[in-house]
Amino acid sequence: MRLLSLKLEKFRSYENLSIDFDENSPVTLLLGENAQGKTNILEAIALLAFPKSFRGVPYHNLIKHDEDFFRIEAKVSSSKVCQELAVSFVKKPEPRKILKSGGKKLSDREFIGTLRAVIFSPEDGKLISGGPEYGRQFLNMVNAQVDSGYFHALLQYHKALKARNALLKAIREGKSQPAELYFWDNVLAKEGMYLTVRRRENIDFLNEKLGEQYRSLSESAHEILLSYRSQLSVEEKSEQYCEHLTRGLSYDLQTLSTNFGPHRDSLRFFLNGKNMKEFASRGEIRTALLALKFAELQYREQKIHQKPLLLLDDVFSELDSLRQGKLMEKIEGYQTIITATRCDMPERQHRGIQSFYVKDGLIHDIKER
């Protein structure tokens, strides 16, 4: 899979932008000072792979200030077939997101997977140092991109969760009967089991690869482990799932929320047996996240037999030169788009790299300057 070109219109800081990616150069470097629009470009590409901003912002904020819409277009080739993809969003008359492939409108579920990309960004740090929602987001993003059934289950699960929580309120107000929960409990059990099983399978695979990835990036003998916490134990089936919901009912009625299920799962990272959230250095965190992303890459390739595009946002800034070099070795064979400030990317003269200089929402080909 290859990204051939990208066009932006009224997206973030860009009025218009057009980039042609050099087919002979697997690596494209976007260099520039802070706040010039480098990450905005990666964010736009990432939206073509997964139509939700990796920076966790709503679509409204992605529109250039004082404008009413944005449009992202790209040409992608896969097995020598060229495809045109587009993501656009209009504010008026009603907020509307439009996803297209080859001019045909697609649903989120159909669209995910047309471009495959793995993004490495400083935001990933939240996976280790932030709340449990970041771990769940990561698991959802990885699994939804390799399995459209997972994405469907996730939508159904959240719909059922919302309906059940509304019903809890109606029961407490005496407007509904507890027996009415039966239907939603069964939906939650069916979809929740599916999500949990897929997440477990995913974590097992990642754990098999993570150590080797971490050691090769850092040339250390550290032991790293990803720990997945779910309230549902491995051997439990959907009947037990429903029993958990029934047992928790009085507490759910007090809190007016559903307290059991994969929406409460969490991920923790351990380095040499110590919780990284409490003990790890910034470089160790960055290395662990890179190792995780390369393990994710292996997972994706095993599932879909295609090499995803790599988007590396500002990854060099907290890595020493050994780790930077190891990272450059690891990306060989992948189309990779890297953002960096000049001082963080000493290897910009690296052979075969297409380089752009990004300044004030415009880009210049460095060779032509």
Q: Which stretches of the chain bind ligand ATP, using CB under 6 A?
A: 12-13, 32, 34-40, 61, 63-65, 314, 339, 341
Comparison of 35 and 322: residue with beta carbon closer to ligand ATP = 35
Cβ partners under 8 Å of residue 209, min gap 6 = 294, 295, 298, 299
Within 301-340, the residues that bind Mg ion by CB under 5 A are: none
Cβ partners under 8 Å of residue 131, min gap 6 = none
Which of ligand ATP, Mg ion, none does residue 209 bind to, with CB < 5 to 8 Å depending on kind? none
Cβ partners under 8 Å of residue 161, min gap 6 = 188, 258, 261, 263
Minimum distance from CB of 308 to ligand ATP (Å)? 21
Q: Based on the shown chain and the rule CB under 5 A, indicate whether residue 40 belongs to the binding site for Mg ion.
A: no
DSSP β-ladder status, 27-31 and 336-340? parallel
Minimum distance from CB of 30 to Mg ion (Å)? 9
Q: What is the DSSP string of 136-203?
A: HHHHHHHHHHH-HHHHHHHHHHHHHHHHHHHHHHHHHTTSS-GGGHHHHHHHHHHHHHHHHHHHHHHH
Which of Mg ion, ligand ATP, none does residue 64 bind to, with CB < 5 to 8 Å depending on kind? ligand ATP
Minimum distance from CB of 141 to ligand ATP (Å)? 20
Sheet hosting strand 104-106, strand order edge to edge: 14-20, 2-11, 69-78, 81-90, 96-101, 104-106
Q: Residues touching Mg ion: how many (CB under 5 A)? A: 1
Comparison of 336 and 339: residue with beta carbon closer to ligand ATP = 339
Comparison of 243 and 344: residue with beta carbon closer to ligand ATP = 344
Sheet hosting strand 309-313, strand order edge to edge: 117-120, 309-313, 336-340, 27-31, 353-359, 362-365
Cβ partners under 8 Å of residue 121, min gap 6 = 39, 42, 54, 311, 313, 314, 315
Minimum distance from CB of 250 to ligand ATP (Å)? 46
Minimum distance from CB of 34 to ligand ATP (Å)? 3
Which of Mg ion, ligand ATP, none does residue 16 bind to, with CB < 5 to 8 Å depending on kind? none
Which of Mg ion, ligand ATP, none does residue 192 bind to, with CB < 5 to 8 Å depending on kind? none
The token duo for 30 is 């976007």
Comparison of 39 and 114: residue with beta carbon closer to Mg ion = 39
Alpha carbon distance 209, 213 (integer Å): 6
**Gyration radius (Cα) of the chain, Å:** 22
SS3 at position 96: strand
Closest among 356, 354, 287 to 318, alpha carbons compared: 287
Which of Mg ion, ligand ATP, none does residue 13 bind to, with CB < 5 to 8 Å depending on kind? ligand ATP
Phi, psi of 102 (to 5 degrees): 55, 35
Comparison of 32 and 308: residue with beta carbon closer to ligand ATP = 32
Paired strand residues for 78: 81
Q: Based on the shown chain and the rule CB under 5 A, indicate whether residue 121 belongs to the binding site for Mg ion.
A: no
Q: Based on the shown chain and the rule CB under 5 A, indicate whether residue 39 belongs to the binding site for Mg ion.
A: yes
Comparison of 65 and 369: residue with beta carbon closer to ligand ATP = 65
Minimum distance from CB of 17 to ligand ATP (Å)? 11
Comparison of 54 and 151: residue with beta carbon closer to ligand ATP = 54
Cβ partners under 8 Å of residue 154, min gap 6 = 140, 144, 191, 195
Comparison of 13 and 28: residue with beta carbon closer to ligand ATP = 13
Minimum distance from CB of 348 to Mg ion (Å)? 17
Which of Mg ion, ligand ATP, none does residue 36 bind to, with CB < 5 to 8 Å depending on kind? ligand ATP
Which of ligand ATP, Mg ion, none does residue 65 bind to, with CB < 5 to 8 Å depending on kind? ligand ATP
Q: Which residues bind Mg ion (CB under 5 A)?
A: 39
